[in-house]
A and B are shown apart, each in its own frame.
Chain A
């Protein structure tokens, strides 16, 4: 670090020695200019356009006609729309709640047992195995799983046959009663690595003396997990829950590749619903209304998440002080 600074200082030292004192913070705004312009073009303008279009009856060609709240009123009565949001809640369970719960136990077990008694290498290898699905493009994960879950010659059904559970065989993605649960299972597999890695990083902050003292007092592993580990990594839990809930509400690629929202809309989710409304039915105004509602929900949840997170951090700092 010092080397860099010296090099920098020497090169720039050739400039004029005395300069008029600069007002702090004045011309720094110039550095923000490219970013601000790019943001305006790629995010702000399209977002405002989308919101505007949601109040019109637009088919994507010709000029949009103002229709006020008609799209939103239609949404309110649209059972397909409500179903897609209900499926979203299932996705929140599969992508946020379950991975967080399993991730916590796994992280604590890897940290307490494996890391301490079998070495950091073993823990790192196991962690890598759990994290691996996270680096896979969702399209590829979809290919892998739709083949594993295929009704004929699918690996899962073959395994069930091999262990004598033929009666458990299913058309995992084709049966409307099961498809949503199958997609949920795949999403748990995809998502698990993320909370695990974050929680393992967070656990390194926890003071080992707390655990040692509790252990001497005769507290078992579950009690220590519940009363020491969990409260200590609460900030990480909030971060993970917020991020994963948002990801669950936005889930698109997995549904597109695994089921295309089917069978019979059994796995339709808002983002896939808006996608088909935009590009297959070309009801752009209606699609915009769906995505606007989705945006409002996501932003509201993000704010709640951020709030909980800062409150947890404040509480933690208060406890330390």
Chain B
């Protein structure tokens, strides 16, 4: 009996901790719908008197937020798909093909993933200028496809290394080429893992900051993260607009989170054990 009673303080402590984690989101949401006068009078902690949406509307128009959303979706989506394809090709050669020297090839990919982007950023900036790709969304897509594929190759190689050999043998006896085995057997069977990677690559690319900040300087090409970060860096915004910006930046993340929560936690578990 006493042990049951002792469990409630733990639950309550955990709930307070969880509350502390989500409170910042709540005050942002509350203040994003206050008018500047209301904010000036009552401060950040009062509940809003009404629903004032002009701050959000003003901010949306001022930074052309729709355009930034399109850019972010386009870049993250393209990177996610391309990086999964590249990872599958690499991992097929390493995990199933068991090519010679695969340990070294794999070590190479792992190291490439751990390199700080700071050690790549200036040459990439310089080379993309030389190639006429500077300030294009394509340049960011190419770079992140490769960076994300490094992690994907690492993870998928160990998954495909344990792929049931009987299935592969059966297909081979039936005369399937390697290309056919890859697309008709390996990819469909590995679909759950590929889904996890797709979600991760999308969100990671969405949240990237340094390289997009350097590569995408014109307003028309910027992503959501870069646009918000640059605005904040300039400290041009008033409180209402700051909150509008924070709310609009948070909403997509919350949507991803709710939609992909299972995939995310499962994916982290997969990544951690391997």
Residues of A within 8 A of B (CB): 1, 4-5, 7-9, 11-13, 15-19, 22, 24-25, 27-32, 34-35, 38-39, 41-47, 49-51, 53, 60, 106, 109-110, 113-114, 117-118, 122, 125-133, 135-140, 142-148, 153-155, 158-159, 162, 189, 192-194, 197-198, 201-202, 235-236, 239-240, 246, 249-250, 252-253, 256-257, 260, 270-271, 274-275, 278-279, 284, 287-288, 290-292, 294-295, 298-299, 302
Is the beta-carbon distance between A291 and B118 smaller than 8 angstroms?
yes
Whole-angstrom CA separation of A60 from B244 in the bound complex: 38
Nearest to A32 among chain B residues (CB) is B93
Is the beta-carbon distance between A32 and B119 smaller than 8 angstroms?
no
Also in contact, A246 and B114, with CB within 8 A (given A155-B45, A202-B272): yes
- Residues of B contacting A127 with CB < 8 Å? 265
Is the beta-carbon distance between B117 and A31 smaller than 8 angstroms?
no
- Residues of B contacting A145 with CB < 8 Å? 24
The 8 Å CB contact of A299, one of B111, B121, B170, B171, is: B111
B159 CB → nearest A CB, Å: 14
Nearest to B153 among chain A residues (CB) is A35
- Residues of B contacting A302 with CB < 8 Å? 111, 114
Whole-angstrom CA separation of A46 from B122 in the bound complex: 8
Q: Is B201 located at the chain interface by the 8 A CB criterion?
A: no
Is the beta-carbon distance between B21 and A153 smaller than 8 angstroms?
no
The 8 Å CB contact of B93, one of A31, A146, A275, A290, is: A31
Whole-angstrom CA separation of A96 from B43 in the bound complex: 35
Also in contact, A201 and B119, with CB within 8 A (given A8-B176, A11-B184, A42-B124): no
Is the beta-carbon distance between A295 and B11 smaller than 8 angstroms?
no
Query: Mind listing 8 A-B residue pairs with CB under 8 Å?
Result: A8-B185, A12-B180, A34-B89, A51-B119, A109-B13, A148-B27, A194-B268, A288-B119
A-B interface pairs (CB < 8 A), number:
315
- Residues of A contacting B62 with CB < 8 Å? none
Q: Is B92 located at the chain interface by the 8 A CB criterion?
A: yes
Residues of B within 8 A of A (CB): 4, 7, 10-11, 13-15, 17-19, 21-22, 24-25, 27-28, 39, 43-45, 86, 89-90, 92-94, 96-100, 105, 108-109, 111-112, 114-124, 126-127, 142-143, 145-147, 149-150, 153, 167, 170-172, 174-178, 180-182, 184-185, 188-189, 203, 206-207, 209-210, 213-214, 224-226, 228-229, 232-233, 239, 242-243, 245-246, 249-250, 253-254, 256-257, 261, 264-265, 268-269, 272-273
